[in-house]
Amino acid sequence: MKEKKESTLSKLMHFAGNHKYYVYASCILAAISAFIALVPFYDMWRILKEVLEVRPNFNEAIHIKSYGWHAVLFALLAMVFLALN
């Protein structure tokens, strides 16, 4: 008769002992970090879209700087959430 294989999460909870809430908090922080890490890619897409929409009058692309700083901010924020993990 085959033995039932123990799941990875149950193995992890066994190792966590009395600190199971840290495992759950870590999973939540990792998910938040992963979502926040996607925002800079969206900002880069907005920069490219704006540049392509106004070409060849590139001086009309007025939001590029704010999109760039937004991308930097969210990249740093994702690192902070990952460090908290």
This prediction has a pTM of 0.74
Give the span between the Cα atoms of 12 and 66, in whole angstroms.
42
- Taking only the tens of pLDDT, the chain with its 85 residues reads 567 788 888 888 888 888 889 888 888 988 989 999 999 999 999 999 999 999 999 999 999 999 999 999 999 999 998 888 7
Domain ranges of the chain: 35-85
Residue with tokens 């760039």: 68
Cβ-Cβ contacts under 8 Å for 23 (sequence gap 6 or more): 12, 13, 16
- Burial (CB < 10 A; 0-12, 13-18, 19+), residue 68, is middle
